[in-house]
Amino acid sequence: MISIQFTRKQSTIVSVELSGHADSGPYGYDIVCAAVSALTIGTVNSLIALADISLDIQANNEEGGFLTFKLPEKLTEKQMEQAQLLLDSLYLSLSSTEEEYGEHMAITNINNQ
């Protein structure tokens, strides 16, 4: 199962962590893993290229699949607006995927105030 954790400060998403594998199909044919990977990597790439944000990224695909990324503490107002739009979109897309394939993935929200 893929575990996805969104960490928020109030309603602002500040980090995302993914771990595990969906195991919804054979390697190379796992559509849940492919969807989660495409959505997440696309968001990370957009945060970097479109919003010009330097993320703190850690990844390890060899031991159960792992990716975490965190926004830096100091962002311009424009960067923060762009980041939240992209991260809200990621949350919405992953939530829709979870509705269909919830036996292979789970999303949790943590609020750090």
Set 21, 55, 70, 84: catalytic member: 21
Set 2, 13, 18, 33: catalytic member: 33
Cβ-count burial 1-14 (b if 16+ within 10 Å, e if not): ebebebbbeeeebb
CA nearest to 107, candidates 86, 85, 83, 90: 90
CA nearest to 98, candidates 47, 29, 24: 24
Instruction: Please say if 33 is a catalytic residue.
Output: yes
Instruction: Please say if 21 is a catalytic residue.
Output: yes
- Positions marked catalytic: 21, 33
